[in-house]
Structure 1
């Protein structure tokens, strides 16, 4: 089969009379409304619906198997290979499809706020609202930067193009394909805008380690004295709530890099879940949803166009995309020094893990690789009891390289910068889910504040029997009896049974890491 000249075809596509490069926010909003891609809400944001794809489609994501990257990718269920021939054929079809469109929209910008480690990107969109989305989510160039902009990676998004699996070699009509050699992400068949954001994050997770930069799926903030904190945690652990601190400035809410100079945001905006959103609970997010912002799958009142953030009839995964500059109390540009403190958040429904504990470097690497939290009953069909769920490095769907590489980089940086690492359980205490109660947010906030202010660095601790975790015996603002889970349970034998059950789940999950050093397994994991 003839090799496709990707770079030449993209240049040719962008010369078309149907292409608008770097359209402004007002122009894009007008286009969205005129093309009936979405509607205007009461706050001035645009609302769009994404059809049947209301979230990422991980089974439709592929990486092209290419000579220069073949031996570097951690192939498996997350990183599935697809041939160059299949990619080229699909790519040619998508380009032909886009050339026939009445209008195309192109965003040029960057991923990475640190100029030494940023990736120039361009995104070619079939939909105006998708272009508005990437305008808010990625880093926008200055006029001078735009003049000299040369894309290092191109995202081509054609939601209206549906693949034929039998002909095109895909699994369904949707596809998200990354070619590291051709420097292209090809997306089709899905209108969910998050695929564009997460594809670039996956690209950065591949590229940054080559420059000894650790990419991280976490939020980050900085105190007024320059102390930096990172918050890792899966959905439902409180990452957004706890990192949005009025006494600290936000670096970013989701994706960061850690270089020899410090921490930097990979993005220029936020992509926040909005289900249950209120101004009282999340004032910064609520007020950022104004003109220029994009709401995904949020139900509106037909007359007033006021969003109903409680309504999950379209999906539980309702979202808002907005620029960081729409928020108060941010770091601009989104760069800061090396972290002083790292917080791993978990919502343990087994009621076993301490509300806060200090981690050694080996324990930090172990829990980073584990990425544990609980999936609660009622959150998904078929889940009738709490289930332990593990997401490697708190972001397994976005890791093209072997997970241990990221963990080793983290361990090295913890050593180099003497970082204090804490495991914070925002889940259950006094018993498992259904017996005990959820840890009070006020207590969790007090514990996190004490950790960030260095008050727990040299305190007296108690070491847990099952996991070997060091629990501070005293935390300002928190009753002492809350701190040690075993004492919070009425039945100590029942606690130990449940603790050993959870430890076994950790061990079973950890078997998949074949190249982990003995020190991490022996010094970082459960001891009983």
Structure 2
């Protein structure tokens, strides 16, 4: 699968030059590149498939998320992709590593139709200092946006496709230019592979104190604050999105960050702001002003505007991508109902309950067709990327929490004073103050009130946060409406947990309760 001109592991400066020459991108005032992805500005979950085979069939949690496709249909599309790359005049290939822990890492090769895709892969995955001549990939990804599927003959739902073939260790992507499909497809592969080695894969960010003693993990879906909260000037960033937890500690899968840009401000997120403006960053679907500067407030193309940059663009990042055993685990949610407290302490069973629930409000733009926040439950805070059966991931969480005596908190970065459209988003200042108090150990033994609807222990004092913020009922002008809204959300929790038929009653009893 090589063209006459295959550019293999090219330097970023060369790829920048090629992407500009080929008119794939526009160069901004800061030197960062801007690309527009057209029809697909977010993931297209309805177009993702897993090849069904005798080796994988009993392992996969088949359903709406993990949809099977036959080996025969896969072969048809793989041949289309292979023929496309054979006919291309220029092809860009990137060899990299996934996983900072050498014991659990894999070799990755990515075939790219566009030079800017190769920049993305170079930044996102872990770069190898010396690539051996006999480099052999453990996983190969083929990304060809110009290749489209025919649903009538190819067994897909549309022209777009993202197909994971675990047996052949290949991923093929067609019709979509959205860079996040590459990232999440590789993540899904790791989430299939690592649990079979007793390593816990996580949709989370992670950081560590400057002395290297206190590692923290932040679980959360897109838009809940994983990237923002882990990029803390007072701590060192291990990674912003995908990690493994092994007997050696926490390790980043990646070597870069793929951050949301919508409404980003230098004052509130200085590290990310700076990284986005550096030469070599690739910015996705952000409007450029006439002077070539970014308009981060514009959602002209999508609210899911993104930027990719290497981890070293964050000044206080951890180059090794490795931290010790975590002391704190934080579950992030962005509650669009405005009824969850901004922070709560979780016991062992509550941790299992909220890990399975994975509640947040799906934010606009992260998937095609999502225009405003919607309540959603995504098990493990990343169900779309977890192909194995739920108890596999739950048992890994429980084993690691118990083994390393970790403290767990639920932190709500969503709305207060009313639901989305009425209330306001909890300020980054307040959320950062809560996170700081957790990581400094200030909330370990603090006094708590009992939230009878959500069955949670809620701290009554947090340094730097007004007391009334800690009790969402106090910020609603209509208390009866608050109780009604809280009960509606609690009922959704109760309904959702019923789908996990193998879960012990002690975990079920740890969730929300309907208030009379």
TM-score, normalised via structure 2 length: 0.93
SS of alignment partner, residue 50 of structure 1: coil
Which of 169, 190, 205 is equivalent to 1:204? 190
Asked if 2 retains the 8 angstrom alpha-carbon contact of 1:29 and 1:292, the reply is: yes
Which of 434, 439, 445 is equivalent to 1:458? 445
Partner of 2:148: 162
Partner of 1:112: 99
Q: Does 1:192 align with 2:169?
A: no
Asked if 2 retains the 8 angstrom alpha-carbon contact of 1:349 and 1:376, the reply is: no
Asked if 1 retains the 8 angstrom alpha-carbon contact of 2:494 and 2:511, the reply is: no
Q: Does 1:324 align with 2:311?
A: yes
Which of 295, 301, 307 is equivalent to 2:289? 301
* Change in CA separation of 1:244 and 1:381 when aligned onto 2, cut-off 3 Å: closer
Which of 206, 212, 223 is equivalent to 1:220? 206
Asked if 2 retains the 8 angstrom alpha-carbon contact of 1:218 and 1:231, the reply is: yes
Partner of 1:5: none
Decide which moves more: 235-244 or 324-333: 235-244
SS of alignment partner, residue 295 of structure 1: strand
CA shift for structure 1 position 435: 5.5
Task: Give the total of aligned pairs.
Answer: 513
CA shift for structure 1 position 66: 1.1
Partner of 1:257: 244
Asked if 2 retains the 8 angstrom alpha-carbon contact of 1:364 and 1:524, the reply is: no
* Change in CA separation of 1:194 and 1:386 when aligned onto 2, cut-off 3 Å: closer
CA shift for structure 1 position 500: 2.0
Asked if 2 retains the 8 angstrom alpha-carbon contact of 1:272 and 1:320, the reply is: yes
Which structure is larger by alpha-carbon Rg, 1 or 2? 1
SS of alignment partner, residue 13 of structure 2: helix
Partner of 2:337: 350
Asked if 2 retains the 8 angstrom alpha-carbon contact of 1:430 and 1:490, the reply is: yes
Partner of 2:44: 57
CA shift for structure 1 position 516: 1.7
1:349-386 Cα shifts (integer Å, max 9, x gaps): 33322221100111111111111123579999999997
* Change in CA separation of 1:433 and 1:178 when aligned onto 2, cut-off 3 Å: closer
Instruction: Please identify runs of 4+ aligned residues in structure 1 that moved more than 6 A.
Output: 376-386
1:282-324 Cα shifts (integer Å, max 9, x gaps): 221222132221111222235x322222222122221111111
Partner of 1:71: 58
Partner of 2:74: 87
Structure 2, gaps ≥5 residues long: none
SS of alignment partner, residue 221 of structure 1: strand
Asked if 2 retains the 8 angstrom alpha-carbon contact of 1:45 and 1:292, the reply is: yes
Counterpart-to-counterpart distance in 1, 2:7 and 2:197: 34
Partner of 2:354: 367
Partner of 2:118: 131
Partner of 1:150: 136
SS of alignment partner, residue 365 of structure 1: helix
Decide which moves more: 71-80 or 51-60: 51-60
CA shift for structure 1 position 455: 1.3
1:384-434 Cα shifts (integer Å, max 9, x gaps): 997422222111211101123212211221111111111112233454456
CA shift for structure 1 position 32: 0.8
* Change in CA separation of 1:33 and 1:343 when aligned onto 2, cut-off 3 Å: same
SS of alignment partner, residue 122 of structure 2: helix
SS of alignment partner, residue 366 of structure 1: helix
Decide which moves more: 505-514 or 329-338: 505-514
Decide which moves more: 424-433 or 393-402: 424-433
1:496-527 Cα shifts (integer Å, max 9, x gaps): 33322221110111122222222211234537
RMSD: 2.3
* Change in CA separation of 1:520 and 1:28 when aligned onto 2, cut-off 3 Å: same
Counterpart-to-counterpart distance in 2, 1:20 and 1:103: 7
Partner of 1:474: 461
TM-score, normalised via structure 1 length: 0.91
Within 5 A, what are the aligned runs for 1:208-287?
A: 208-225=194-211, 226-287=213-274
* Change in CA separation of 1:243 and 1:526 when aligned onto 2, cut-off 3 Å: farther
Counterpart-to-counterpart distance in 2, 1:321 and 1:515: 39
* Change in CA separation of 1:29 and 1:340 when aligned onto 2, cut-off 3 Å: same
1:119-167 Cα shifts (integer Å, max 9, x gaps): 1110011111111111111111111x43452100000111111222222
Asked if 1 retains the 8 angstrom alpha-carbon contact of 2:97 and 2:105, the reply is: yes
Partner of 1:3: none
Partner of 1:179: 165
Counterpart-to-counterpart distance in 1, 2:201 and 2:371: 35
Within 5 A, what are the aligned runs for 1:401-480?
A: 401-433=388-420, 436-480=423-467
1:13-62 Cα shifts (integer Å, max 9, x gaps): 24x53322111111111111111111222212222221211111111111
* Change in CA separation of 1:63 and 1:132 when aligned onto 2, cut-off 3 Å: same
CA shift for structure 1 position 348: 2.3
SS of alignment partner, residue 132 of structure 2: helix
Asked if 2 retains the 8 angstrom alpha-carbon contact of 1:276 and 1:309, the reply is: yes
Partner of 2:513: 526
